[in-house]
Amino acid sequence: MSRTPTDAGLAADVPGSRVGGPGGGSRREVPGAELSIVTSGLTKRFGSGQVAVDALDLAVPSGSVFGFLGPNGSGKTTTIRMLLGLVAPTAGEWRLLGTPMPGGVGGVLSRVGALVEGPAFYPYLSGEANLRRYDAADPSADPRTVSTRIGLALERVGLAAAAGKRYRAYSLGMRQRLAIAATLLGPRELLILDEPTNGLDPQGTREVRGLVKEIAAEGTTVFVSSHLLAEVEQMCSHVAVMRTGRLVAQGPIADLRASETVRIRVETPDVEEAAAVLAGLGLPEIRLGDGDVSAALGAGLPERVCAALVTGGVAVRGLAVQRPTLEDVFVGLTGEGFDVDG
Partner 1 sequence: MSTVSGKEAVSTEKATRAVPDHDPARGRDQAMTAGQAAGGRPIPPPRAVSAPRAWLRLLGSEVGLTFRRPRNLAMLGVLTVIPVLIGIALRMFAGTGGDGTGAPMIFERITGNGLFLTFAALSLLVQLMLPVCVAVVAGDSIAGEAGIGTLRYLLAAPAGRTRLLAVKYACVVVFCLAAVTAVALSALLVGLLLFPAGPITLLSGGTIPFLDGVLRIGVVVLYVTAGMAALGAVALALSTLTEVSVGAIASTVVIVIAAQVLRAVPQLSVLQPYLLTEWWSGFDGVLRDPVAIGDMGQGLLVFAAYAAVFCSIAWARFTGKDITA
Ligand X SMILES: Nc1ncnc2c1ncn2[C@@H]1O[C@H](COP(=O)(O)OP(=O)(O)O)[C@@H](O)[C@H]1O
Q: Which of residues 265-294 bind partner 1 (CB under 8 A)?
A: none
* Options 15, 164, 219, 335; binder of partner 1; rule CB under 8 A: 219
Q: Is the peptide bond before 143 cis (omega within 30 degrees of 0)?
A: no
Separation between Cα atoms, residue 236 and residue 252, nearest integer Å: 9
Beta-strand runs (E) in the chain:
35-45, 51-56, 59-61, 65-69, 91-96, 99-101, 112-115, 190-194, 221-226, 238-243, 246-252, 263-267, 287-288, 292-296, 318-322
Partner whose footprint covers residue 85, from ligand X, Mg ion, partner 1, none (CB < 5 to 8 Å by kind): partner 1
Q: Is position 77 an interface residue for Mg ion (rule: CB under 5 A)?
A: yes
From the list ligand X, partner 1, Mg ion, none, pick the one residue 339 interacts with, judged by a Cβ distance below 5 to 8 Å according to partner type. Answer: none
Q: Which region, judged by CB under 8 A, interacts with partner 1, from 230-238, 278-286, 299-307, 329-337?
A: 230-238
210 or 280: whose CB is closer to partner 1?
210
Chain positions 23 to 62 lying near partner 1, rule: CB under 8 A, are 23, 26-27, 30, 33, 61-62
Q: Which stretch binds partner 1 (CB under 8 A): 119-127, 169-177, 272-280, 304-312?
A: 119-127
Ranges within 167-206 binding ligand X (CB under 6 A): none
For residue 252, the minimal CB distance to partner 1 (Å) is 4
Q: Count the site residues for Mg ion by CB under 5 A.
A: 1
Q: Choose the contact partner of 89 out of Mg ion, partner 1, ligand X, none; CB within 5 to 8 A by kind.
A: none
The listed partner (ligand X, partner 1, Mg ion, none) that binds 48, CB under 5 to 8 Å by sort, is: ligand X
Q: What is the pattern of x (binds partner 1, CB under 8 A) and - over residues 249-268?
A: ---xxxx-xx----------
Task: Enumerate residues 53-82 that contact ligand X by CB under 6 A.
Answer: 70, 72-78
Residue among 180 and 278 whose Cβ is closer to ligand X: 180
Number of residues that bind ligand X (CB under 6 A): 12
Q: Is 96 exposed, middle or buried (0-12, 13-18, 19+ CB in 10 A)?
A: buried
- 124 alpha-carbon distance from chain centroid: 34
Max CA separation in the chain (angstroms)? 77
Rounded to whole angstroms, what are the CA distances from 228 to 63, 195, 205, 213, 245? 22, 9, 12, 17, 17
Which CB sits closer to ligand X, 70 or 119?
70
Task: Give the residue with the Cβ less far from Mg ion, 77 or 176.
Answer: 77
Q: Which residues contact 202 (CB under 8 A, 6 or more apart)?
A: none
> Per CB under 5 A, which region of 69-77, 231-239, 310-318, 328-336 contacts Mg ion?
69-77
Residue range at the interface with ligand X (CB under 6 A); choices 45-53, 88-96, 150-158, 315-323: 45-53
Output 9 or 324, the one with its CB closest to partner 1. Answer: 324
Other C-beta atoms closer than 10 Å to the C-beta of 30 total 10
169 Cβ contact list (under 8 Å, min separation 6): none
For ligand X, give the closer residue by CB, 24 or 245.
245
The residues, any chain, with a CB within 8 Å of residue 325's CB and separated by 6 or more, are 233
The stretch among 116-124, 279-287, 309-317, 332-340 that binds partner 1 (CB under 8 A) is 116-124
Instruction: With contacts defined by CB under 5 A, name the span among 43-51, 77-85, 159-167, 274-282 that binds Mg ion.
Output: 77-85
Helix axes 202-217, 172-183, angle to 10 degrees: 10
Q: Which residues of 251-271 are buried (b: 16+ CB within 10 A; e: fewer)?
A: bbbebbbbbbebbbbbbbebb
Distance from C-alpha of 187 to C-alpha of 166, rounded to nearest angstrom = 26
Q: CB-hemisphere CA count at 13 Å for 201?
A: 4
